Amino acid sequence: MSSDLFQPEHEVFRQTIREYIIKELAPHADEWEEAGEVPREVFKHMGDLGYLGMRYPEEYGGGDDILSEAVFHEELAYCLSGGVGADLGAHMAISMPHILTYGTGEQKRKYLIPGIKGEWIGCLAITEPDAGSDVAGIKTRAVREGDDWVINGSKTFITNGARCDFMVLAAKTDTQKGHSGISMFVVDTSTPGFEVTRKLDKLGWRASSTAEMAFTDMLVPGDALLGEENKGFFQIMGMFVWERMTLALGAIGGAQLSMEAALSYAKQRQAFGKPISKFQVIAHYFADMATKIEAGRQLTYYVLKLYLEGKNPIKEASMAKLFCGRMACEVVDTCLQIHGGYGYMEEYPVARAYRDIRLMPIGGGTDEIMREIISRMMGL
């Protein structure tokens, strides 16, 4: 939907990227869901077209246009697989931004250039079996050995983790300092001591290459440190704003697509001699859904505006992520109800959408954490 936030060229791009996604990605959704990952060739093709580097500086092969990336995340729902959007988003919007913001010139050249080209795939490795929302509770350790670091530990629920080429990794570098003792590293997965221990079987996002990984005496060079030592927690918190905005945009896109599909179904599905869309209860479902989607869209666009103005809208991004994630779950649930028994069949896209959308109130910070952030920033 149009907004004064976007320029005419962004609306043209919206149509262009939607057509690309519908033509090039959506037809393969079933195949990639079955395989459990998006082929590397997809990243390469999208990199060739400039779709993986829209927000990044031109010197690294990017387009220097963050609004185009925002459009991209909202339109990704048309690929008909949350897992496809997850893998692409984890690479371009979650792992590489850490390098862009905190990396040295050498790190940016080494990882951003092939990452933007789609030649390398990245992941963000923070969550552990015993530490999800509690980032300060991570147990992976990085210990100095001369000029290098030795890393031991494990991570889980890592999107792209089963086939990434590099990872942005959080580890404890000072166990006595709590959250102030975490540092970030950017590490090649070819490094000895790195192992993918398990590819995870999930309820939804089944096309996403999600993994558990382990590090056993993994020796990384000193220049693998990303940003300042023991400042990793603050780096992670700073990068959550963009991640949560992209998740809100994805939730809006997913809700919009499901509503459109349900509307088409309701107009052709007959009951008691007329389309079910003609029954007031069904029509009012659509009125409620359209209102909720538009409210989420305008809230998220407002947060995006604040972000573009150079502000750090932590509270507002948390609000957008909280509202849009829950809203999308409600909308898709209603869409499944409108489909009736057919909505419970895998042959209809709403069944997959129902499984995929449920991750929105969990990934990128749970609803409970979003409420905690919002309430604390209200002085409570």
Same domain, 259 and 322: yes
How is residue 25 annotated by DSSP? I
The dihedrals phi and psi of 231, each to the nearest 5 degrees, come to -110, 10
* SS3 sequence of 212-232: EEEEEEEEECHHHEECCCCCH
Q: Is residue 3 part of a domain?
A: no
Residue 31: CB partners within 8 Å, gap ≥ 6? none
Single residue among 232, 247, 276 that ends a domain in this structure: 232
Same domain, 279 and 344: yes
Q: What's the CATH number where 95 sits?
A: 1.10.540.10
pLDDT of residue 203: 96
| pLDDT of 3 higher than 90 | no
Same domain, 240 and 209: no
Sign of CA dihedral 110, 113, 300, 337: negative
pLDDT of residue 11: 95
CA-CA distance, 186 to 120, in Å (whole number)?
13
pLDDT of residue 133: 81
What separation in angstroms does the CA of 133 have from each of 53, 164, 365, 376?
A: 29, 23, 6, 16
User: Amino acid identity of 29?
Assistant: A
Q: What's the CATH number where 361 sits?
A: 1.20.140.10
CA-CA distance, 204 to 200, in Å (whole number)?
11
What would the mean pLDDT of 139-149 be, rounded to a whole number?
97
Nearest Cα neighbor of 171 from 187, 152, 188 is 152
Q: What does pLDDT average to over the chain?
A: 96
Q: Is residue 294 part of a domain?
A: yes
Single residue among 232, 248, 274 that ends a domain in this structure: 232
Residue 71 sits in which domain range? Answer: 8-121
Q: Is residue 57 part of a domain?
A: yes
Query: Contact, 12 vs 305, CB < 8 A?
Result: no
- Burial of 379 (C-beta count, 10 Å sphere; 0-12/13-18/19+): exposed
pLDDT of residue 136: 84
Same domain, 242 and 220: no
Query: Contact, 50 vs 17, CB < 8 A?
Result: no
Q: Is residue 14 part of a domain?
A: yes
Q: Is residue 2 part of a domain?
A: no
Grade residue 4 by pLDDT with cuts at 50, 70 and 90: confident
| pLDDT of 178 higher than 90 | no
What would the mean pLDDT of 63-89 be, rounded to a whole number?
97
Same domain, 227 and 251: no
Nearest Cα neighbor of 116 from 64, 78, 38 is 64
Single residue among 79, 97, 121 that ends a domain in this structure: 121
Secondary structure (DSSP) of 6-22: S-HHHHHHHHHHHHHII
pLDDT of residue 134: 83
pLDDT of residue 242: 97
Same domain, 93 and 196: no
Nearest Cα neighbor of 102 from 168, 58, 165 is 168
Same domain, 314 and 259: yes
Task: Determine the distance from the C-alpha atom of residue 202 to the mean position of all C-alpha atoms in its chain, rounded to a whole number.
Answer: 16
**pTM (2 decimals)?**
0.95
> Over the stretch 306-351, which tens digit does the pLDDT of each residue have?
999 999 999 999 999 999 999 999 999 999 999 999 999 999 999 9
Tokens of 231: 């400042």
Q: Is residue 1 part of a domain?
A: no
**Number of domains making up the chain:** 3
Same domain, 265 and 333: yes
Query: In the block, which residue shows the tokens 């509690």?
Result: 134
User: Amino acid identity of 305?
Assistant: K
Secondary structure (DSSP) of 233-270: HHHHHHHHHHHHHHHHHHHHHHHHHHHHHHHHHHHH-E
Q: Is residue 282 part of a domain?
A: yes
Q: What's the CATH number where 222 sits?
A: 2.40.110.10
User: Amino acid identity of 136?
Assistant: A
The dihedrals phi and psi of 323, each to the nearest 5 degrees, come to -65, -50
Same domain, 258 and 199: no
Same domain, 353 and 276: yes
| pLDDT of 2 higher than 60 | no
Query: In the block, which residue shows the tokens 């459109």?
Result: 260
The dihedrals phi and psi of 163, each to the nearest 5 degrees, come to -150, 20
Query: In the block, which residue shows the tokens 């300092």?
Result: 177
Same domain, 354 and 257: yes
Question: Collapsing DSSP states into helix, strand and coil, what is residue 317?
Answer: helix
Catalytic residues: 243
Give start and end residues of each alpha helix (H) in 95-209.
96-102, 105-107, 113-117
